[in-house]
Structure 1
Amino acid sequence: MTTQMKASFLKKQGEIAVETIDVPEVRADEVLVQVAAVGVCGSDVHYYAHGKIGPYVVEEPLILGHELSGVITAVGSDVDPARIGQRVAVEPQRPCGDCFQCNAGRYNLCPDIEFYATPPIDGAFCEYVTIQSKFAFEIPESVSFEAAALMEPLSVGIWACERAEVGKGSRVLIAGAGPIGVIVAQTARALGAAEVIITDVAEDRREFALKHGATKALDPRVDELAGLEVDAFIDASGAPAAVQGGILAVRPAGRVILVGGGHDEYSLPISFIQNREIWISGVFRYTNTWPTAIEMVSSGKVDLDILVTGRFGLNEVENALNAGKTAGQLKAIVYPGK
Structure 2
Amino acid sequence: MRAVFIDGREQIAVREAPEPQPAVGQVRIRLARVGICGSDLHYYFHGANGEYVVREPLIPGHELSGTVDADPSGELAPGTPVTVHPARFGREVPGTEGQPHLWPGGSYLGSAATWPHTQGAMADLIVVERDMVRSLPAGIDMDLAALAEPLGVALHGATRAGDLTGARVLVSGAGPIGLLAVIAAQARGAAHVTVTDVLAQPLERALALGADAAVRAGTDELPAEAFDVVLECSGAPAAISAAAVATRRRGVIVQVGMVPNEPRGINLAPLISKEIDLRGAFRFNGEIDEAIEILAARPDVTSVVTHAIPVADVRAAFELARDGAVSGKVVVAFDASDASQLRGGSAAASATSTLDQ
Does TM-score exceed 0.5, indicating one fold?
Answer: yes
Partner of 2:273: 275
Instruction: Say which of 313, 317, 327 aligns to 1:316.
Output: 313
Distance of 2:151 and 2:102 partners within structure 1: 19
Amino acid at match of 1:129: I
Per-residue CA shift, 1:20-65, capped at 9, x if unaligned?
1212232322211111111111111111011111221100101011
Q: Could you tell me which residue of structure 2 aligns to residue 89 of structure 1?
A: 83
- From 80, 92, 97, the equivalent of 1:99 is 92
1:156 to 127, 133, 153: 153
Is the alpha carbon distance of 1:162 and 1:134 closer, same or farther for their aligned partners in structure 2, counting shifts above 3 Å?
same
Name the residue aligned to 1:334: 332
1:57 aligns with 2:53: yes
Is the aligned partner of 1:111 residue 2:108?
no
Gaps spanning 5+ residues in structure 2: where?
A: 337-357
Letter matched to residue 246 of structure 2: A
Deviation for aligned residue 1:262: 4.2
Following superposition of structure 1 onto structure 2, how do residues 216-255 of structure 1 map, counting pairs within 5 Å? Answer: 216-255=213-252
C-alpha distance in structure 1 between counterparts of 2:288 and 2:222, whole Å: 33
AA partner of residue 125 (structure 2): Y
How far off is 1:102 after superposition?
10
Q: CA RMSD in A?
A: 1.9
Which structure 1 residue ranges, 5 or more long, are not aligned? none
Deviation of 1:226 after TM superposition, in Å, equals 4.9
Which amino acid in structure 2 is aligned with residue 156 of structure 1?
V
Name the residue aligned to 1:71: 67
TM-score of the superposition, structure 1-length normalised?
0.92
CA distance in 1, matches of 2:308, 2:139: 20
Equivalent of residue 28 in structure 1, options 16, 24, 27: 24
Q: In the superposition, relative to structure 1, how do residues 48 and 31 fare at CA in structure 2: closer, same or farther (>3 Å)?
A: same
**Worse-superposed segment, 134-143 or 266-275:** 266-275
Deviation of 1:333 (Å):
1.2
Q: Do the aligned partners of 1:102 and 1:110 also contact (CA within 8 Å) in 2?
A: no
In the alignment, what sits opposite 1:11?
7
- Map Cα deviations across residues 207-250 of structure 1 (whole Å, 9 max, x no partner): 22112131011122233325233111111112111110011111
**Structure 1 CA distance, aligned partners of 2:34 and 2:78?**
20
SS of the counterpart of 2:24? coil
If the length of structure 2 is used for normalisation, what is the TM-score?
A: 0.87
Q: Deviation of residue 258 (structure 1)?
A: 1.1
% same residue: 34
> 1:20 and 1:322 mapped to 2: Cα distance?
23
Work out which of the residue numbers 30, 44, 51 in structure 2 matches 1:48.
44
Q: Is the 8 A contact 1:226 1:245 kept in 2?
A: no
Q: Verify the 8 A CA contact 2:202 2:328 in the aligned structure 1.
A: no
Whether 2:178 is the aligned partner of 1:185: answer no
Determine if contact 2:68/2:76 at 8 Å carries over to the other structure.
no
| Distance in structure 2 (CA, Å) of the matches to 1:268 and 1:316 | 39
Once residues 306 and 336 of structure 1 are traced to their aligned partners in structure 2, the CA distance between those partners, rounded to angstroms, is: 20
Closer, same or farther in 2 for the Cα pair 1:238/1:270, shift >3 Å?
closer
Aligned-partner Cα distance in 2 for 1:336–1:320: 13
CA distance in structure 1 between the aligned counterparts of 2:49 and 2:122, rounded to whole angstroms: 19
Matches within 5 A, 1:206-225: 206-225=203-222
